[in-house]
Amino acid sequence: MKKIKSIHQEDISLAYLKMLAAYNDVTKVSHGDRDHDGVDCQLKFEKLEGVELENFQINIQVKSSVNVVEKKDGFSYNLETKNYNKFCGKSMNPRVFAILQLPRDMKWVDFDEENNQLLARSKMFWYVLPKDAVKLPNEKSTKAINIPKENYWSVDNFLEVCRNIVNEFFSSEDSKGSEKI
């Protein structure tokens, strides 16, 4: 079985997210080479139908893994506490964990020669960090991120999910996360 280096896992997730954003005409997806603040990239919007704000962004921490555990009501991913803690604290923008579930056989991309198509064999789930999220004390542990099965991004729902994330973040003073956005 092919093993992916951890440095490439972020690249895979970013590429997937950028494809969804480009398809949906997002104004800009920006990212540094590697993050140090828990933010791997930002989705930047000049305007989004259904959102009263203009020129806003969504901060995203991306991960990819074969270790996304399927549960009855959704999925769970164990995020390193140090990564979770970098993303905590007060923020002017919504903060989203985006986790790309890779197939166990690690054949996450394929080329269909007959139809001349590059195929991504994965699915990206998202979780909005609650506004009141606090840092955890043990940096050497993990934090289970539980994601409802409805919380995935596709080409068809990408803008709707972004719109709901932004509207929820800016309309609620005490957001409780993304259990059902």
Residue 105, exposed/middle/buried by CB under 10 A (0-12, 13-18, 19+)? exposed
Return the pLDDT at 180. Answer: 47
Residue 96 has pLDDT above 90, yes or no: yes
Give the pairing of strands 74-80 and 142-148: antiparallel
Closest CA to 101 of 53, 149, 54: 149
Q: What is the mean pLDDT of residues 27-36?
A: 71
Model confidence band, residue 4 (pLDDT cutoffs 50, 70, 90): low
Condensed to tens digits (0 to 9), the pLDDT of residues 160-171 reads 999 999 999 988
173 or 130, higher pLDDT? 130
Find the helix packing angle between 6-23 and 158-171, rounded to 10°.
Answer: 100
CA atoms within 13 A on the CB side of 141: 7
Condensed to tens digits (0 to 9), the pLDDT of residues 101-110 reads 988 887 778 8
Return the pLDDT at 92. Answer: 87
For residues 41 and 89, is the Cβ–Cβ distance under 8 A? no
Condensed to tens digits (0 to 9), the pLDDT of residues 7-16 reads 677 788 888 9
Return the pLDDT at 33. Answer: 61
- Coil, helix or strand at residue 171: helix
The residues, any chain, with a CB within 8 Å of residue 76's CB and separated by 6 or more, are 68, 69, 144, 145, 146, 147
Residue 41 has pLDDT above 60, yes or no: yes
Model confidence band, residue 20 (pLDDT cutoffs 50, 70, 90): very high
Return the pLDDT at 5. Answer: 63
65 or 173, higher pLDDT? 65
DSSP class per residue in 99-126: EEE--TT---EEEETTTTEEEE--EEEE
Strand partners, 126: 98
Residue 58 has pLDDT above 90, yes or no: yes
Instruction: Tell me how crowded residue 84 is: count the other CB atoms within 10 A of its CB.
Output: 21
Which amino acid does the sequence have at 87? F
Per the prediction, the chain carries an average pLDDT of: 84
Return the pLDDT at 3. Answer: 60
Condensed to tens digits (0 to 9), the pLDDT of residues 102-160 reads 888 877 788 889 999 888 888 899 999 888 888 899 888 999 999 999 999 999 999 99
- Coil, helix or strand at residue 147: strand
- Sketch the domain layout of the chain as residue ranges: 6-171
